[in-house]
Structures are given as structure tokens and as C-alpha cells.
Amino acid sequence: MKNNRTKNFQMRITSDEYEWFKEKSASYTSVAHFVRSALTEYSNINAKQRLELINELGSFYRKVQNELSWAGGNLNQTVKRANELAVAGLLAPNYIQEVLFPTIHHLYSVKPCFICNLCISVICTCFHLV
């Protein structure tokens, strides 16, 4: 026996919402088909979990981006100050190789990270150590 759709559901929407529904449902056979598909997909637990994971990934990405921005700002200030001291003759020539590099290498050995590699390459470039 075929499951006939005999019940009707009405909903009041604005003109903008109506246009949005028409636009989004264009690739479906009808607006009703679009709504049924959306409800089925949203009700699917795997789809909800994927959506939550995508949201968590977005939060993680923003956190990493903020930390990279913070570290980059600190690195820029440090290199700028070290360069000023080097130009003024107030920075020992071996300070970078004997103090700064070992500190970065120690940090990298404790927790390998992109920032440590970035620090090393920026400092080498700024002070023409390569």
C-alpha cells in the first residue's frame, strides 16, 4: 500500500523568506521536497555530528589563527628590537647563535611547532645568517 500524503501543513512567512525558499528549492522537485530533504538530513544523527565537528573545527582554526597572529606580533617586535640593538652595536654578535637559537631549539624539542620553524627562518633572514 502506497503512503499517500493527505495532511496539509501551513506556515506564514515573509516575502523574503518565500524568495529564499524558492531559490534554495530550485534544484528539488518542489519546496515540499526541499523541506522534507532538509528535515531528513538534519534529523540524521551523523549529519548533526558532522555539523558539530565542522563548527568545532572552525573554532579550532580561529584559535590557531589568533595564536599565530599573537606569536607573529611578538616575533616581529623581538626581531625589530634585536635588529635595533645590533645596528647600535649593543647586541653581542654571538647572542643570536648562542642564546636565541638554543632557546628556540629547546622550545621546538619540547613541543615541535610551526612557530619555531618560522622563528628560525625569520631570524636567519633578518640577520643574514643563511
What is the full DSSP assignment across 42-79?
Answer: HH-HHHHHHHHHHHHHHHHHHHHHHHHHHHHHHHHHHH
Q: 84 near 128, Cβ under 8 Å? A: no
Q: How confident is the model at residue 130 (pLDDT cuts 50, 70, 90)?
A: very low
Cell numbers linked to 77: 617586535
pTM over 0.95: no
Q: What are phi and psi of 23, to 5 degrees?
A: -65, -50
On the question of pLDDT at 82 being above 50, the answer is yes
Q: Write the CB contacts of 9 (distance below 8 Å, at least 6 apart in sequence).
A: none
Over residues 88-128, the pLDDT tens digits come to 888 887 777 777 777 766 666 655 565 556 666 666 655 55
What is the predicted pLDDT for the residue at 3?
81
What is the predicted pLDDT for the residue at 54?
85
On the question of pLDDT at 79 being above 80, the answer is no
Select the more confidently predicted residue: 130 or 95: 95
Over residues 4-61, the pLDDT tens digits come to 888 888 889 999 999 998 998 999 998 889 988 888 877 777 777 777 888 888 888 8
